[in-house]
Structure 1
Amino acid sequence: MDAFGDYIDINVHIMFTIYIADIIQRFFKTIVEYFKYKNHNSPENRLWTILGRAYCYNVPSRVLFFFIIVISIYRARFPPLHYLAYMPILWLYHCVNVPHSTLDYATFIRANHGLDSASSMAANYFHGYLKLTLPAYTNNPGIRERIYMYEQRHDVKFALNRLIILVPSQLFIKSKFESPYLEKAEPLPKVYLNRAGVNRPYQNDVYRFTKPINNRFYYMALEGATPILTFFETINFQPTSTKEILQMKREILLKFFKYLKKLVGDWPETEQETELIFYDDYKPNGEKQDIGEMLFNHFKSILLSKESSNSNNTFSTRASQHIESIHD
């Protein structure tokens, strides 16, 4: 038991020394921040703001430090002075960033803090476009109303009364979707919204399936996610491309899709107004994916399933009515 107790004491002393080294290192970062990056912090309470950021520990770190203090007071005591001689090794360890790997970038992107580029792209797309154009406002009809008016005026039927937004795995989106399964139709009516002092027109394209589903040619309000095309251009333009962003492009893409889906789904005015579809540009056999064929098969399955369900419900209702009439 004495050996185990000594082992605990040594580990507590080591951890205490690590925390002391960390506190000193954070103080050094505070000095650098205050003098080198002074203008990055607003003048009001600049020093306290920097100190608050420098000495902001997460909850597990604070809990661990609390237990180390308690054990030090009641058992291990504070570390002998010769332990402090090892602090420069810890500073060197952190200065050269030994623990870092590209997995840290992936972990950072996946975290829910809103500081990564994927979250920013999704939030800008949502607040600057989808949240403005999808819902109905006093002077402008929403996407559902515009689709309904389009159906009435042209005597057609949409596969889905929402805006369909495509997110491709390879990021690139053509200005026009080309496929034997699709043909471009007349767009939905424009809506005009005042944004930052400019009365901007917004318009959604419409495509028609060239092949019927249950003897009907369905239409769609369809477009690609424009921030993803911008992202594609960013990573393929030398002045804005970096090794890190190329390594993390799929992480950024997936975070964009998941976060945008969450934003759209959490906002009552948009949750039923759009359909996000993530798809692979290539099939499992390596063949290039035909967007029109992919969409046709996707909606054919949905529409046939819906019609089958409606038929079953109708049959069940008639059967129930028949049974009731027999009992009567």
Structure 2
Amino acid sequence: MDKIKINFTDFYDGFDKEDNFFTNLLSKRYSIGISDNPDYLIYSNFGNDYLNYDCIRIFYTGENIRPNFNRCDYALSFDYMNDHRHYRLPIYRLYGEYDNVLNQNECIDEILKDKLKFCNYIYSNSEALERVHFLKKLSSYKKVDSAGKSMNNVGKPVIDKVKFQKNYKFTIAFENSSYPGYTTEKILHAFAANTIPIYWGNPDITKEFNPNAFVSVHDFDDFDQVIDRIKEIDNNDDLFKKYISASPIFNEKIRNSLTDDNILNFFENIFLTEKFPVAKSLFKYRPHLNDIFLGQGLKVPWYYSYKTFNFYIKYYGLKMFIRRFLLRRL
């Protein structure tokens, strides 16, 4: 096996560099070493430590954030992007339930017997107003059990989300925000629990998940129409069974793109390509200038701003610097 030196930074608290989706996946084809002086850096969106590395940078995010190729050489995200530097890897692929959903083979009648409750809602964030509003409207039909930190009405937050959901016919599976391609684990967890997801978020969700297996809010004009459909399914066991028996992920192209081999092929192309890192390019300070003048709002250390000013004033001259950058904001 070829030895590859990598490192990780700017991931969530508790991220384990030695035991995670990327290290485990890459170890199937390469001898992976975690190094403070890596050839390749995989970084996410929870910090700016990636700025301290001048190797090939590979950006990964499961959030509703666009890759910025002024900062990274390659990226993996949920975006539908036609760019050889980018690979679509929605965050739900990183969850163990993904394989379970692909290989579900349970008796539909037995599933129905376990569905003793109506609908669940498990979230910690109460600031996503779209789903809070829907929860309140649906609750006017039947009680919805809210088992997260947000809107909790069952006593305390549950620990095992999927296990809890298995008792319910429906799951409210709303994303924090809506954007084409932005699909998280919420719909996957609902499928893993054999409930019918009531989904809102990615308006193109039917490109990857079977529209016959869930209720897409995007297919209706308003929440009232969505709730009418839910009532119809709730009161018709045959219709419920039809939804539950449908294969959740029916798009073979999506399935193939998310296999280990195809994701590894993307990394293999990175490792085999001789590329001058963006971090070492002549304009490597330009992104920080954009942060200052174009309002991108990312926090960077003061000394990057200082170095940026010096670089551009020397490169363009003071008059051109003012015309080219400062006046663009007026």
Taking structure 2 as the reference length, the TM-score comes to 0.28
- Higher radius of gyration, 1 or 2: 1
Higher share in helix = 1
